[in-house]
Structure 1
C-alpha cells in the first residue's frame, strides 16, 4: 500500500519518470550490435540457457550473423519455442536445439559427447544459463544446486569442449557473471552446501565470483592456443533469473525494473560484444562491464594463487571418478 501511495503521488511519479529516462540513457552500452557488420557465416556457436531472456537474444544475434547456432536448453518445450522464434525472426534455418541440464554433471557429459560427435568445429561458447534464489538442495553429484547450475556445470562443459574450441581457433568463450560477484566470498565448502546462508542473492553472488576467478585462470592456461576466455556483467536485467523468489520480491523487482533495468535484449549486448566484436579480438582473461568497457573485477578475482586453487578444486569436483 505504501508503494502504491508513492506511485500515485504526482511529484514522486514525475520525478521517477524523469529519473528513469536518465537511467535509460545512461545504461546504454557504448557498442551497438546492430551497427556491427561482423559475419559469423561458417562459424558454430553454443549458447546455454538460450530459450529465454539474455540467452535467447544472444542466440538471435548470432543467427542473424549467419552462424550455426546450438541452443543448449533444459526444457524441450521452451527450447523448441525459442528455436522456432529465432528461425522465423532471422531467416536462419541452421539453428538447432540440444537438451542439457547444467546442474547435472551426467547431463553435461552427455551433451558434450553429442556435440563432439556431431560438430566439426566450435568457435563461440557462451555460458549464460544460471539462476538466483534456488532453494537449498544437494544434487546427486553431491553438489549444492546453485553452484552446480551457475558454476560447476558450465565449468565442466567448457573443459569438455576445450579441444574442439582449440581446433577451431580463433575461438571465444564468454561466461556471463555479474557485478554481484564483488559481494561474493570464497569458501570451498560451499560447493558441497556447507556454511551457506540462504538469504536473497547471497549464494548467487558466491557462484558469480567463482565464474570470474575460474575464467581468468582458464584464460591463463589457454595462452597461445587462440582461444580467448572472458567474463561479463550483463547489467541489471529484467529476466526470469528471479523465478525462484517469492511473488512479492518478483513483483517489486519487475515494477522497479520497468523504469530502471535493462531489457533482455539490452542485457545481451556485453556478451555479444565479447563474442563477436573486432575490438575484443585477442583480448582474454578480462572482465567486461554492462556498457562493454573493461573494468577490474573484485580483488579476490585478481589473486592468481587463489585462481589456481579454485580451478584445481573445480576440476576434482567435476572429474568422473
Structure 2
C-alpha cells in the first residue's frame, strides 16, 4: 500500500508539479533548425506533444504513424500551429517486423542525417493476438519493432551530429522482472495484456542499457512519463482512467522529459543508458522488489530476441 500511495504522488500531476519547480527552462531554449527528428506514434498523446514542441523550435520532423489519415491530419494541425512546414509523415505498423526492416533500409537510402530517434509508439492489447508473422502483438510492437527500428537506423544516427535515442517506457516495468525465456507470453495463463505490456517496457529498459554499451557514439536514454491522460491510456485501461482521470498528468506534462532528453544540452554530459523521470535519472528497480537479473540473463534475452529476428529472415542483429 505504501508503494501504491507513493506512486500516486510521484506519477500523477502533483508529482510533476512538484518536480517542475526545479526545472531550468533554459534547457529547452534550443534552436532545432537543421536537425532531423524521427518520432514514432507521433499523431496522438505524448508523441503529438513531442512533435509539436520540437516543430516549434524549427526541427525537421519525421512522423512515423500507423494510421495515414490520423498522421496527415496531425501534421497539418501542427504545421498550422507552429508555422513549421518541414514535417513529413511515414506510415508504418511496428508490429510488422519485415516492414520495419524495409522502412529502415529505405530511410537510410534516402536520407543523409537523423539526429534524434524518439521511440514512443506502443500498444497494450488485452486479448492475445498474433501478427501476420505469427508473433504476439504486444511483443512485436513494443519490443521487437522498437528494436528493429533502433538498430536499423543506427548507421544513419552514427553519421549525424550529437545523435540521440529516447525511448518512452512505463512505470509498470518497475514491478516486472525480465523474463528471458517467454518473450511471446506462452506461459502467461490466462493472458494478461497489462502484464505483457509491463514486461515489454522492462525489456525496453534493458535494451536501452545494452545499446549504450554497444554504440558509444550515440546517446541513449529511457524514461517514464508518469501517468498521463492520453487517448491510449483511456482506450487500453478504461477503469484506471476513470478512477484516476482527475489526478493524471496532461499529455504535455508526460511529454516534458521526452523533449528535454531529445533536445536539452545537459543530457549530453550525462552517462548514456540511464532511465529518467521528470528530468532526473532514477533507479530501474524498486527497493526490495526482487526484479534484478544478472548480466548473463540480460545477454540471454538479447540472444533470444536475435533468434526471433533470424527466424523471420530479417537482418541479423549482433551485440
Matched, 1:297 2:284: yes
Matched, 1:263 2:260: no
C-alpha offsets along residues 144-172 of structure 1, whole Å, 9 cap, x if unaligned? 11111111101000000000000114200
State the match for 2:106 in structure 1: 114
Matched, 1:58 2:50: yes
Matches within 5 A, 1:157-168: 157-168=149-160
Q: Distance between the aligned counterparts of 1:47 and 1:238, measured in 2?
A: 19
Asked if structure 1 preserves the Cα contact closer than 8 Å seen for 2:178 and 2:293, the reply is no
Equivalent position to 1:288, from 271, 276, 280: 276
Q: 1:281 to 1:21 in 2, by over 3 A?
A: closer
Q: 1:24 to 1:168 in 2, by over 3 A?
A: closer
Other structure's SS at 1:191 match: coil
Q: CA RMSD in A?
A: 2.2
C-alpha offsets along residues 240-273 of structure 1, whole Å, 9 cap, x if unaligned? 224554xxx51x4333443211111110011111
Q: Distance between the aligned counterparts of 1:315 and 1:169, measured in 2?
A: 29
State the match for 1:8 in structure 2: none
Asked if structure 2 preserves the Cα contact closer than 8 Å seen for 1:213 and 1:307, the reply is yes
C-alpha offsets along residues 8-37 of structure 1, whole Å, 9 cap, x if unaligned? xxxxxxxxxxxx985563364743668621
Matched, 1:91 2:83: yes
Equivalent position to 1:238, from 225, 229, 236: 229
Q: 1:304 to 1:258 in 2, by over 3 A?
A: same
Q: Distance between the aligned counterparts of 2:21 and 2:255, measured in 1?
A: 10
Q: Distance between the aligned counterparts of 1:140 and 1:185, measured in 2?
A: 28
Asked if structure 1 preserves the Cα contact closer than 8 Å seen for 2:223 and 2:276, the reply is yes
Asked if structure 1 preserves the Cα contact closer than 8 Å seen for 2:36 and 2:61, the reply is yes
C-alpha offsets along residues 208-248 of structure 1, whole Å, 9 cap, x if unaligned? 0000001101101112x2x1111100110111224554xxx
Q: 1:47 to 1:301 in 2, by over 3 A?
A: farther
Asked if structure 2 preserves the Cα contact closer than 8 Å seen for 1:43 and 1:123, the reply is yes
Q: Distance between the aligned counterparts of 2:204 and 2:156, measured in 1?
A: 21
Equivalent position to 2:171, from 154, 179, 184: 179
State the match for 2:195 in structure 1: 202
Structure 2: state its 5+ residue gaps: 1-11, 314-319
Structure 1: state its 5+ residue gaps: 1-19
State the match for 2:143 in structure 1: 151
State the match for 1:16 in structure 2: none
Asked if structure 2 preserves the Cα contact closer than 8 Å seen for 1:108 and 1:157, the reply is yes
C-alpha offsets along residues 21-71 of structure 1, whole Å, 9 cap, x if unaligned? 855633647436686211111110100000100001111111111111000
TM-score, with structure 1 as normaliser: 0.85
TM-score, with structure 2 as normaliser: 0.85
Equivalenced residue count is 295
Q: Distance between the aligned counterparts of 1:173 and 1:280, measured in 2?
A: 12
State the match for 1:170 in structure 2: 162
